[in-house]
Amino acid sequence: MKLLTSIILSLFSLPVSAWDIGGQKTPAMGFNTQVTHSYSSYIYTLIRETATTMKARGFLDAGYTFINIDDCWNTKTRDSNGQLVVDATKFPSGMKNLTDFLHDLGFKAGEDQGTATCAGFAGSLFHELTDARTFAEWGFDYVKIDNCNSGSFNGTNPERFQRWTDALTQVKNETGRIIFYSLVEWQGFDAWTWGPSIANAWRIYDDISADWRRIKQILNNASFLGDFSDFSRHNDLDMLENGNGALTLAEQRSHFTAWALTKSLLLVGTDVAALSQESVDILLNPDIIAINQDTSIGEPVKPFFWGKNPDGTWDPAFPAQYWSGFVGDEKHTAVMYINFNEETVDLNFTFSQSGHLDGDKEYNVRDLWKQEEIGSFKEYFFEGGIEAHDVRAYMFTEVL
């Protein structure tokens, strides 16, 4: 109820201007170690192997450029000079050696910090500038700041995370290095109202899990927050769980499509070497990735028709089903439909229901999962036989 109240109140707030120091304006894509590697004593080797595998399996060419170390890479105390200390047992060749390796492969490097990290290692509260300089020296391109263990800070969450904004801005001025900045607040979520002026991305919900129920909960939250996301400022729906748990291929398709088209960060959180080719193909769909990485339109798709529920319904068990948004220009519109029912159903809608389609015009339609043109349509669209938990994604191109 507290989260719902926060979202309702935020709808009366206009999005603030984005924090932009000249870095990447589209959502970050890559890999995060949290699920598979963070707690392993062999994390250094696993990261190198993961990067090599991702390049070999086509992830780098598809745009997955960041390899992010999420936690457990440093010791629990700083050295006598107040510097963070890399765990030499886990990283025997040091952190700069690892980031050089990633850069040589063509990737970028990221890391996670907190007040004390979520796993209890030395954090960055009151050491922000020192650590930002250290990360720049080590060659990092991305930092995620968690709000774990932040009880010693007496200010607000915006004040706490602004300290990293100031540090990263100063490091950019000193060195020219631009570091992508993502944040995770705890003790409630409302960062979409203040995050745009402070960071490049902010989490909108609790941790994800490889569970269809959790995916629906997160997407329900996102359905009310599209107005807060644009270039250089992104709602982060959390990691991609494709290939984990018992998610079916249909659920993996829906998960990936929803995250991509709502312009979330796309950070793979699974053992890439163990992924089936079917799961890899989902994550590498070029038409879906192109919408996420659109450099002309920064806004995400937004719901235009809830489907089963009345429009505007808050329902974590059955979110909005029909979404749309411009792609590239206002002549091209992406439409997403997700079947949250437990049985096969049909989809249908009229063009006038979407603010991104003109009810008086004709459109050529491409199915982005079949990757084929399916015909021209006027006034309304219909397709039958959408299986339970599966997705449809289309590109509507105005016929001139």
Question: pLDDT class for 14, splitting at 50, 70, 90?
Answer: low
- Among residues of the chain, what percentage have pLDDT more than 70? 90
Looking at per-residue pLDDT, the higher value among 295 and 157 belongs to: 295
Q: Is 146 a catalytic residue?
A: yes
pLDDT-wise least confident of 12-16, 270-274, 356-360, 381-385: 12-16
Q: What pLDDT is stored for residue 266 in this prediction?
A: 98
Contact criterion met (CB below 8 Å) for 51 and 107: yes
Phi, psi of 190 (to 5 degrees): -155, 20
Active-site annotation holder among 207, 281, 329, 346: 207
Looking at per-residue pLDDT, the higher value among 278 and 42 belongs to: 278
Question: pLDDT class for 125, splitting at 50, 70, 90?
Answer: confident
pLDDT-wise least confident of 82-91, 323-332, 383-392: 82-91
Rg value, the chain, Cα: 21
What tokens does 110 get? Answer: 């990221």
What tokens does 197 get? Answer: 């002026």
Q: What pLDDT, in 10s, does the model give residues 45-58?
A: 999 999 999 999 99
What whole-number distance in Å separates Cα of residue 98 and Cα of residue 366? 42
Short-list 42, 68, 40, 41, CA closest to 54: 68
Distance of CA 75 to the CA centre of its chain: 28
Whether residue 34 is predicted with pLDDT greater than 90 in this model: the reply is no
Q: Is 294 a catalytic residue?
A: no
Q: What is the mean pLDDT of residues 217-240?
A: 98
Q: What pLDDT, in 10s, does the model give residues 323-372?
A: 999 999 999 999 999 999 999 999 999 999 999 999 999 999 999 999 99
What whole-number distance in Å separates Cα of residue 318 and Cα of residue 217? 8
Question: pLDDT class for 147, splitting at 50, 70, 90?
Answer: confident
| pTM for the full predicted model | 0.95
Structural domains of the chain ordered from first start = 29-293 (3.20.20.70), 302-398 (2.60.40.1180)
What tokens does 336 get? Answer: 């997403």
Q: What pLDDT is stored for residue 115 in this prediction?
A: 55
Q: What is the mean pLDDT of the chain?
A: 92
- Among residues of the chain, what percentage have pLDDT more than 90? 80
Q: What is the mean pLDDT of residues 260-271?
A: 97
What whole-number distance in Å separates Cα of residue 336 and Cα of residue 399? 20
Question: pLDDT class for 12, splitting at 50, 70, 90?
Answer: very low
Residue 38's CB is within 10 A of a number of other CB atoms, namely: 19
Q: What pLDDT is stored for residue 204 in this prediction?
A: 97
Whether residue 8 is predicted with pLDDT greater than 80 in this model: the reply is no
Short-list 44, 101, 31, CA closest to 72: 44
Active-site annotation holder among 146, 230, 236, 390: 146
Q: What pLDDT is stored for residue 6 in this prediction?
A: 59
Strand order through the sheet with 372-378: 302-305, 322-327, 329-338, 391-398, 362-367, 372-378
Q: What is the mean pLDDT of residues 118-128?
A: 76
Q: What is the mean pLDDT of residues 81-106?
A: 94
Question: pLDDT class for 186, splitting at 50, 70, 90?
Answer: confident
Sign of the Cα torsion 367, 353, 321, 2 reads positive
Q: What pLDDT is stored for residue 304 in this prediction?
A: 98
Contact criterion met (CB below 8 Å) for 288 and 282: no
